[in-house]
């Protein structure tokens, strides 16, 4: 991989293409290309965020019906690796057996996937850091890899409340000892889209350096 100094992140993410859908860890692609996963409660706006970052209308299927993304969806960035849309959690109407299946899948994936270089955690800015969000972070934290928090649907709140919430989340998660970014984000008015592209895209840099040594 050869990432130049000044990167056009928009072009970088625009190359995303649907790759594969899986519902068991045994179906994942080989664990040898870098990937960044998008996780969050059902309806938090994961699929919408992936569409906004990649400038694709319906790359990841977004829906008014919570629990729409029930599998792990891989989007390939050509030889650079993958963006991974994880199943949303916390949707009350899902049968318990299905919930347990997802929970197992998420926990195992977050704890063991070698290629996973960073986690994008999406939380509705009006309801950040639920118990399930914190549980997810606990599964991922031992990896000591970067967490990028997108506080979604930021168009729903005033600027002062957006900043206040971002500050609170930064403070709450600051003591986890992980590289952390917290970005108010809206797929509607595109607040935070460029910043998110840059911060998420930069996860590819260390790999470029490692490869070039
Ligand atoms: N106002 C506003 N609505 C949003 C935003 N992002 C997503 N939505 C809406 O929130 C709903 C859920 O969005 P999705 O992107 O499907 O959420 P998801 O996290 O992928 O949901 P699951 O796949 O069910 O886990 C849809 O009705 C979207 O239109 C945003 O930034 N602002
Ligand atoms: Mg989705």
**DSSP letter string over 150-203?**
EEE-GGGS-HHHHHHHHHHHHHHHHTT-S-EEEEE--TTT-TTHHHHHHHHHTT
Specify the DSSP class assigned to residue 27: G
Distance 45 CA to ligand 1 centre (A): 3
Ligand with the closest atom to the CA of 151: 1
pLDDT, position 133: 96
pLDDT, position 5: 64
Q: Are 113 and 28 in contact (CB under 8 A)?
A: yes
Distance 156 CA to ligand 2 centre (A): 19
User: What are 34's strand-pairing partners?
Assistant: none
Q: Phi/psi of residue 18, each to 5°?
A: -60, 135
What are 199's two structure tokens? 């911060």
Q: Nearest 10 degrees: CA dihedral of 40, 168, 180, 84?
A: 10
Distance 42 CA to ligand 1 centre (A): 9
Mention every residue, 6+ apart, whose C-beta is less than 8 A from residue 26. none
CB-facing half-sphere around the CA of 49: CA atoms within 13 A: 36
pLDDT, position 18: 92
pTM of the complete model: 0.92
Q: Regarding beta strands 82-85 and 147-152, do their DSSP bridges make them parallel or antiparallel, or are they unpaired?
A: unpaired
What are 166's two structure tokens? 């971002």
| Shortest-distance Cα residue to atom 6 of ligand 1 | 45
Domains within the chain, CATH numbers bracketed = 9-212 (3.40.50.300)
Q: Are 199 and 183 in contact (CB under 8 A)?
A: yes
Residues in the chain: 213
Residue ranges around ligand 1 (CB below 6 Å): 40, 42-48, 62-64, 66-69, 88, 152-153, 155-156, 186-188
Distance 41 CA to ligand 2 centre (A): 9
Q: Point out the ligand 1 atom lying closest to the alpha carbon of residue 40.
A: 19
Q: How far apart are CA 77 and CA 164, in angstroms?
A: 34
pLDDT along the chain (213 residues), means of 10: 73 93 90 96 93 83 60 91 92 80 89 96 97 95 96 98 97 93 98 97 73 39
Distance 212 CA to ligand 2 centre (A): 35
Q: How far is CA 149 from CA 15, 40, 93, 199, in A?
A: 23, 10, 26, 10
| Shortest-distance Cα residue to atom 16 of ligand 1 | 62
Q: Point out the ligand 1 atom lying closest to the alpha carbon of residue 152.
A: 31
Ligand with the closest atom to the CA of 48: 1
């Amino acid at each position: 991989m050869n990432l130049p100094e000044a990167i056009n992140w928009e072009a970088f993410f625009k190359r995303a293409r649907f790759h594969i859908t899986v519902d068991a860890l045994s179906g994942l692609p080989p664990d040898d290309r870098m990937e960044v996963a998008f996780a969050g409660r059902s309806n938090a706006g994961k699929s919408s965020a992936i569409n906004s970052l990649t400038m694709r209308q319906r790359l990841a299927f977004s829906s008014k019906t919570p629990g729409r993304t029930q599998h792990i969806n891989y989007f390939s960035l050509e030889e650079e690796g993958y963006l991974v849309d994880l199943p949303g959690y916390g949707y009350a109407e899902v049968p318990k057996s299905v919930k347990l299946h997802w929970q197992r899948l998420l926990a195992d994936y977050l704890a063991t996937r070698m290629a996973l270089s960073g986690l994008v955690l999406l939380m509705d800015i009006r309801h950040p850091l639920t118990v399930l969000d914190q549980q997810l972070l606990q599964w991922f934290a031992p990896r000591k890899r970067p967490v990028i928090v997108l506080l979604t649907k930021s168009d729903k709140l005033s600027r002062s409340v957006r900043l206040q919430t971002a500050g609170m989340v930064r403070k709450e998660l600051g003591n986890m000892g992980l590289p952390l970014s917290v970005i108010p984000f809206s797929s509607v008015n595109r607040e935070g889209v460029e910043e998110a592209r840059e911060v998420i895209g930069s996860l590819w840099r260390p790999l470029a350096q490692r490869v070039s040594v």
